[in-house]
Amino acid sequence: MNQHRVRQGVESSVRVLARQYSNTQCFTPVAICLRGFFRLTLIPMSKKPIFIYDTTLRDGSQGEGVSFSLNDKLQIALRLAETGIDFIEGGYPLSNEKDEAFFKQIREHDLGGSQICAFGMTRRRSMKAQDDPGMKALVAAKSPGITVVGKTWDFHATEVLGVSLEENLAMIGESVEFLAENAHVIYDAEHFFDGFRANPEYAIKTLRAAAAGGAKVMALCDTNGGSLPEQIAAITTKAMEGLQDYPGVSFGIHCHNDGELAVANSLAAVDVGVTQVQGTINGIGERCGNADLISVIGNLGLKKEGYSVLGGEGLSHLTELSRFVYETANLQWRNGQAFVGQSAFAHKGGMHVHAINKASKTYEHIDPSLVGNERRILVSELSGRSNIIAVADKHSIQDDKEVQSKILAEVVRLENQGFQFENAGGSFDLLIKRVVGSFTPHFSPLKYRVVAGETSADERDVYSEAILKIRIGDQDVFNAAEGHGPVNALDTALREVLLPFYPQLRDMHLVDYKVRVVDNGAGTAAGTRVNIESGDKEETWGTIGVSDNIIEASFQALLDSVEYKLHKDNVTPAT
Q: Where in 64-123 is the site for a second copy (CB under 8 A)?
A: 64-65, 67, 69, 95-96, 121
Question: For the window 387-426, what string marks contact with a second copy as x by the rule CB under 8 A?
Answer: ----------------------------xx---x-x----
Question: For the window 196-235, what string marks contact with a second copy as x by the rule CB under 8 A?
Answer: ---------------------------xxxx-xxx-----
Q: Which stretch binds a second copy (CB under 8 A): 179-187, 205-213, 312-320, 548-556?
A: 548-556
Angle at 242 between CA 239 and CA 246, to 5 degrees: 105
147 binds a second copy (CB under 8 A): no
Q: How far apart are CA 517 and CA 391, in angstroms?
A: 27
Q: How far apart are CA 288 and CA 56, in angstroms?
A: 14
Q: Site for a second copy (CB under 8 A): which residue of 19, 303, 413, 506?
A: 303
Q: Are 268 and 233 in contact (CB under 8 A)?
A: yes
In the region spanning residues 152 to 181, those forming contacts with a second copy, defined by CB under 8 A, are 155-156, 159-160
What values do phi and psi take at 103, rounded to 5?
A: -65, -30
Q: Which stretch binds a second copy (CB under 8 A): 21-29, 109-117, 175-183, 503-511?
A: 503-511
Tally of residues, the chain: 575
Cβ-based neighbours of 431, under 8 Å, separated by 6 or more: 407, 410, 411, 414, 421
For the stretch 225-228, contacts whose Cβ atoms lie closer than 8 Å and that sit 24 or more positions apart, written own/partner, are 225/255, 225/256, 225/257, 225/258, 225/259, 225/262, 225/287, 225/288, 226/194, 226/258, 226/259, 227/193, 227/194, 227/255, 227/259, 227/261, 227/265, 228/259, 228/261, 228/265
Q: Are 138 and 149 in contact (CB under 8 A)?
A: no
Q: Which amino acid is at 489?
A: A
Q: How far apart are CA 78 and CA 252, in angstroms?
A: 23
517 binds a second copy (CB under 8 A): yes
Task: Output the DSSP codes for 58-71.
Answer: TTGGGSTT----HH
Rank residues 80 and 553 by Cβ distance to a second copy and give the closer one. 553
187: which strand partners? 148, 218
Rank residues 120 and 214 by Cβ distance to a second copy and give the closer one. 120
Q: How far apart are CA 29 and CA 26, in angstroms?
A: 10
CB of 260 to a second copy, least distance (A): 4
Q: Which amino acid is at 150?
A: G
CA 560 vs. chain centroid, Å, equals: 30
Q: Where are the alpha helices (DSSP H) in 181-253?
A: 192-198, 200-213, 229-242
CB of 164 to a second copy, least distance (A): 17
In the region spanning residues 340 to 369, those forming contacts with a second copy, defined by CB under 8 A, are 341-349, 351-352, 354-355, 358-359, 361-366
Q: How far apart are CA 457 and CA 483, in angstroms?
A: 20
Q: Which stretch binds a second copy (CB under 8 A): 22-30, 70-78, 234-242, 374-382?
A: 374-382
Q: Site for a second copy (CB under 8 A): which residue of 54, 132, 188, 491?
A: 491
Q: Site for a second copy (CB under 8 A): which residue of 61, 175, 250, 427?
A: 61
CB of 209 to a second copy, least distance (A): 21
CB of 33 to a second copy, least distance (A): 32
Rank residues 24 and 369 by Cβ distance to a second copy and give the closer one. 369
Rank residues 13 and 322 by Cβ distance to a second copy and give the closer one. 322
Q: How far apart are CA 302 and CA 418, in angstroms?
A: 39
537 binds a second copy (CB under 8 A): no
Q: How far apart are CA 178 and CA 80, in angstroms?
A: 29
Q: Site for a second copy (CB under 8 A): which residue of 170, 288, 477, 571?
A: 288
CB of 267 to a second copy, least distance (A): 7
In the region spanning residues 419 to 478, those forming contacts with a second copy, defined by CB under 8 A, are 420, 422, 444-457, 462, 464, 467
Rank residues 84 and 91 by Cβ distance to a second copy and give the closer one. 91
CB of 542 to a second copy, least distance (A): 13
